[in-house]
Amino acid sequence: MSEDKYSDINGNTILLNSCSHSSFCREFTISTPKVSLRKIMAYTCSVWLIAYAVFLITENTTVLSAAIFVTLLGMMLHLHFVKIDHESLLIIGSLGIQMSSSYASGRESTTFIEMGKVKDIVINEAIYMQRVIYYLCILLKDPSDPNGVADVVPLFQSSKPRLSCLDKVYKSCQEIIGQC
Amino acid sequence: LNHLDHPHRKHNVCMVSDFFYPNMGGVESHIYQLSQCLIEKGHKVIIVTHAYRNRKGVRYLTNGLKVYYLPLQVMYNQSTATTCFHSLPLLRCIFVRERITIVHSHSSFSAMAHDSLFHAKTMGLHTVFTDHSLFGFADVSSVLTNKLLTVSLCDTNHIICVSFTSKENTVLRAALDPEIVSVIPNAVDPTDFTPDPSQRDDTKITIVVVSRLVYRKGIDLLGGIIPELCLKHPDLYFLIGGEGPKRIVLEEVREKYQLHDRVRLLGALEHRDVRKVLIQGHIFLNTSLTEAFCMAIVEGASCGLQVVSTRVGGIPEVLPEDLITLCEPTVKSLCDGLEMVIAKQRAGNVPPPAAIHNRVRTLYTWRNVAERTEKVYDRVAKEVVLPLDKRLQRLMAHCGPVAGSIFAFVAVLDFLLLLFLSWLVPDYVIDIAVDASGPHGIWKNKHSRKDFKILSDTSFT
């Protein structure tokens, strides 16, 4: 088990925790920093200041209560559906690949792909938000065409690690896929 | 062009144009062939173009030629809209991650090419521009395009034109110093266009026309020639390949003179089918009204056909005098020229196709084009890119008081936007891309390719 520091595509530090359970079973977990208090403060303050400005113009107090409501609801939704703290990839040779992501609220979502469907794991390039980035993805076999690719499942979508980190995960995954 | 001090210097070249495959045309194949030959010479080459329908993202072509299809909005005629700024973030990211040293833009019709020249100069990269077309000076659209070209080219390091006529035209239009303009003609792949006399029917005489059926290509002239010659020569046949808005003119002529059996319209041709059409003919006819460098007549001659063409633009430079019959762009002159060649053909007084092919095959090769382009790159790499203050002075001095001030202002804004972007996403945060071509390219090396598999057909945006 080892823990390495890498950075994501925006230059923030992320932690890659790689854990080798056996020679054909490995787990990679990428942890991103927790929601910072400063960020919450900044968003809350800006929403409230805007609401207060609107209140001064309209002199309607519902604006203020709406602002409080919006901030609370926004924070809850953000923690429950957007902010992912850990993303993990569990690869077990001959069995399959499990991807799970745990949200800041504690909610977890897990997907499993059996090995029979996996064609390969590759690093690909994509245009993302006015940038060109590398990402790791699983290629799924097309049942009708033995050489074709039915679908592409991107990995670590939320943490978006840089190439050096992807390369490490990629090489270990290839070792396991190569065995079976 | 005798700068050969660093023969081993390798460049990282980025070709930018709105026009690239799957769109078909002269500029597209020029960029592709030139890139392939530069890769063969050991340079790293990537191509940037806009997305064509579902073809977007990053793709790899033969020999590790990497193509970026960027999701930019297409405005008119496959050319993207320009705001001078919106393409900067993506282009900067590509220039940085691919460690580009020279940005080579193609075609003055392409907004993306001008945008990338502008951004490259802001980023301090060397710039080269290839002009593929001729323009007029009088009508409103030409005046505007010429102004844009003046602004775009006044601080570009080097300009390449495809013929001397084109050079003269570009120098006048963009008010350039002729010293920084080189002439490098286009080329054809001679192995693609070999003659095959067995495919043609020698009991009749076939005239082949392969061109887009548009006004610029003189299709109205063709519509005048067809009935006149068909009436005089009962054994004359026309084979016309290509598609366009002027097809209706030819269809009307065919209808009016009942020439359905003698004038065949083949519609749009794939590039690989062009030879099949060419080798069926005896005479190749080109009726263009304006042409910087005519690839079609070289292809025709390479297939061993007698070439008859209008004397416009750079055409007289293209082939040696005895391989081409030049006429004025009028129906009468073209008919006279064709009659003369038909008479020669009947008398058997023409060189055999293989002899013509052998002469043409050495005239224009892509290797030669790549060699000459490489010299331009070597020369450009030694020049200094103007810093912002010099660039502003140059813009103000060269482009007139109004346009000069406007574009100097735009250049300053572009520079500020670049500063903002490099604060938002600093260079060290951008991953350096793995080279597919060039000195450290992994494409040619089969062993290391296993280490880093590249998936070329999928992308998500």
Enter the DSSP assignment of A8: B
Please state, in angstroms and rounded to a whole number, the distance separating the CA atoms of residues A171 and B29: 38
Q: How far is B356 from chain A (nearest CA, A)?
A: 46
- Check residue B311 and give its pLDDT: 92
Q: Is the pLDDT of residue B272 over 90?
A: no
Q: Hey, how many other C-beta atoms are within 10 angstroms of the C-beta on B227?
A: 16
Q: Which residues of B touch A132 (CB under 8 A)?
A: 58, 68, 90, 93-94, 97, 433
- Check residue B458 and give its pLDDT: 37
- Check residue B94 and give its pLDDT: 96
- Check residue A178 and give its pLDDT: 86
How confident is the model over B85-99, as a mean pLDDT? 94
Please identify, in words, the CATH class of the domain defined by B12-187+368-429.
alpha beta
How confident is the model over B397-413, as a mean pLDDT? 91
Verify whether the Cβ–Cβ distance A122 to B454 is below 8 Å.
yes
Q: Hey, how many other C-beta atoms are within 10 angstroms of the C-beta on B10?
A: 17
Strand, coil or helix: what is B249? Answer: helix
- Check residue B450 and give its pLDDT: 41
Q: What percent of the residues of chain B are helix, what percent strand, and what percent coil, each to the nearest 5?
A: 45, 15, 40
Nearest to B453 among A120, A130, A163 (CB): A120
How confident is the model over B191-205, as a mean pLDDT? 87
Question: Helices B111-122 and B401-424 meet at what angle, rounded to 10?
Answer: 70
Best of A9, A118, A130 to substitute, by most chain B Cβ atoms within 10 angstroms, is: A130
CA dihedral (B431, B434, B436, B439) in degrees, to 10, reads 110
pTM summary value: 0.85
- Check residue B461 and give its pLDDT: 31
Strand partners, A4: A16
What's phi and psi for B81, nearest 5 deg? -75, 150
Strand, coil or helix: what is B114? Answer: helix
Best of B417, B430, B456 to substitute, by most chain A Cβ atoms within 10 angstroms, is: B430
Q: Which residues of A touch B453 (CB under 8 A)?
A: 120, 122-123
Please state, in angstroms and rounded to a whole number, the distance separating the CA atoms of residues B70 and A36: 35
- Check residue B456 and give its pLDDT: 40
Please state, in angstroms and rounded to a whole number, the distance separating the CA atoms of residues B69 and B90: 11
Best of B56, B432, B456, B459 to substitute, by most chain A Cβ atoms within 10 angstroms, is: B459
Q: What angle do CA B42, B24, B113 make, to 5 degrees?
A: 60
Q: Which residues of B touch A14 (CB under 8 A)?
A: none
Cβ pair B308, B334 in contact under 8 A: yes
User: Residue holding tokens 């060189």?
Assistant: B351
Please state, in angstroms and rounded to a whole number, the distance separating the CA atoms of residues A125 and B458: 9
Verify whether the Cβ–Cβ distance B429 to A11 is below 8 Å.
yes
Interface residues of B toward A, Cβ cutoff 8 Å, are: 56-58, 68, 70-71, 89-90, 93-94, 97, 425-426, 428-433, 452-455, 457-461
Cis peptide before B71 (omega within 30 of 0): no
Verify whether the Cβ–Cβ distance A7 to B70 is below 8 Å.
no
Strand partners, A100: A88, A110
Residues B229-243 as b or e (16 or more Cβ within 10 Å = b): bbeebeebbbbbbbe
Comparing B4 with B181, which gets the higher pLDDT? B181
Cβ pair A25, A92 in contact under 8 A: yes
In angstroms, the Cα distances linking A77 to A45, A107, A139, A159 are: 18, 12, 31, 18
Enter the DSSP assignment of B400: T
Among candidates B4, B5, B12, which has minimal Cα distance to B120? Answer: B12
How confident is the model over B399-418, as a mean pLDDT? 92
Q: How confident is the model at residue B444 (pLDDT cuts 50, 70, 90)?
A: low
Enter the DSSP assignment of B437: S
Q: Is the pLDDT of residue B50 over 90?
A: yes
What's phi and psi for A168, nearest 5 deg? -65, -50
| Burial (CB count within 10 angstroms: exposed 0-12, middle 13-18, buried 19+), residue B372 | middle
Architecture of the domain whose range is A2-35+82-178: Roll (2.30)
Domain residue extents for chain B? 12-187+368-429, 190-363
Q: Quick check: A150 contacting B, CB < 8 Å?
A: no
Q: Quick check: A103 contacting B, CB < 8 Å?
A: no
Nearest to B71 among A123, A127, A131 (CB): A127
User: What CATH code is assigned to B190-363?
Assistant: 3.40.50.2000
Is there a common fold for B12-187+368-429 and B190-363?
yes
Q: Which residues of B touch A154 (CB under 8 A)?
A: 460
Please state, in angstroms and rounded to a whole number, the distance separating the CA atoms of residues A75 and B32: 51
Q: Quick check: A133 contacting B, CB < 8 Å?
A: yes
Contacts with B, A 50-89, CB within 8 Å: none
Residue of B nearest to A7 (CA): B429
When the pLDDT of each residue in chain B is averaged and rounded to a whole number, the result is 88
Enter the DSSP assignment of B200: S
Nearest to A11 among B426, B457, B459 (CB): B426
Q: What is the mean pLDDT of each run of 10 residues along chain A (180 residues)?
A: 89 92 92 89 92 91 91 92 93 93 93 92 93 94 88 93 94 88
Min mean pLDDT across A34-48, A49-63, B197-211, B445-459 is at: B445-459
Verify whether the Cβ–Cβ distance A131 to B89 is below 8 Å.
yes
Among candidates A62, A55, A91, which has minimal Cα distance to A169? Answer: A91
Cβ pair B461, A128 in contact under 8 A: yes
Q: Which string of DSSP letters, residue by residue, matches A85-146? A: EEEEEEEETTTEEEEEEEETTS-EEEEEEEGGGEEEEEEEEEEETTEEEEEEEEEEEETTEE
